[in-house]
Amino acid sequence: MRNARNAGVPGIILYTAVAVMACAWKWFYYAPNTLKEYQKSLNESRDKKNQNHNWSHFGNKPATIEAVFTGILFGNFGMAYDLFCCLAPYAIFMFGVIPGVTYILLGEERARTALYTTLLAETLTNLHSFIIIACNHAGDDVYKFDSSVKARSDEFYLRAVIGSVNFHTGSDFGTPGQTAPDVVDFL
């Protein structure tokens, strides 16, 4: 998004792109990166640290659907296959099997409702994931570290806290039971 903003793309297009990406967050960003980290973890656990896999060329860079499609253009079909094997069972079950069984048992109208409900639920969970993850990792003011540490170590968790955004959300002061302090605490 930074490249698009620096290229002078109009704000309305940037905001629309962010909104679309937020509603498809797990499909666009989270699933490819999870596959990349999973493959990296498998290679490390099997003591194959120097062996390349479909996702190794990303290194520490994020993997996205855009990168998967770019890989297809250059003949790297492995990433697309991995992503398909990861996402297809979920998509087939949620958007095919559930509405299909509903159609068989309850008819077309309720099947359509089941499909719309699963699509809305997927959109809302993607939006929720985007809000709680991207906002906490994408700010220019987030502290960055020059070296890596062992995963799940004390230092790892300390860095996770230090490297997170701390939004000012207003005052926590007030008598419990009043609206303003309760809303801040709830959020």
The angle at the Cα of 153, spanning 151 to 158, to the nearest 5 degrees, equals: 100
Shared domain for 166 and 180, answered yes or no, is yes
pLDDT, position 104: 97
Tokens linked to 155 = 């230092």
Shared domain for 100 and 159, answered yes or no, is no
**pLDDT bucket at 76, cuts 50 / 70 / 90:** confident
Taking 90 as the threshold, does the pLDDT of residue 52 lie above it?
no
Shared domain for 15 and 84, answered yes or no, is yes
- What is the C-alpha separation between 129 and 149, in angstroms, rounded? 26
Q: Which of 15-19, 59-63, 138-142, 166-170 has the highest mean pLDDT?
A: 15-19
User: Shortest CA distance to 20 belongs to which of 123, 155, 164?
Assistant: 123
Question: Mean pLDDT over residues 115-136, rounded?
Answer: 90
Where does residue 177 fall: left (phi above 0), alpha (psi -120 to 50 degrees), or beta otherwise?
left
* Residue 61 vs residue 182, higher pLDDT: 61
Taking 60 as the threshold, does the pLDDT of residue 68 lie above it?
yes
- What is the C-alpha separation between 40 and 7, in angstroms, rounded? 34
Shared domain for 93 and 125, answered yes or no, is yes
Shared domain for 121 and 171, answered yes or no, is no
Shared domain for 35 and 82, answered yes or no, is yes
Shared domain for 172 and 85, answered yes or no, is no
Shared domain for 92 and 10, answered yes or no, is yes
Taking 60 as the threshold, does the pLDDT of residue 168 lie above it?
no
What is the value of pTM for the model shown? 0.70
**pLDDT bucket at 85, cuts 50 / 70 / 90:** confident
The domain of 6 spans: 2-138
Name the domain count of the chain. Answer: 2
Shared domain for 167 and 79, answered yes or no, is no
User: Shortest CA distance to 77 belongs to which of 57, 58, 54?
Assistant: 54
Shared domain for 117 and 149, answered yes or no, is no
User: Radius of gyration over alpha carbons of the chain, in Å?
Assistant: 21
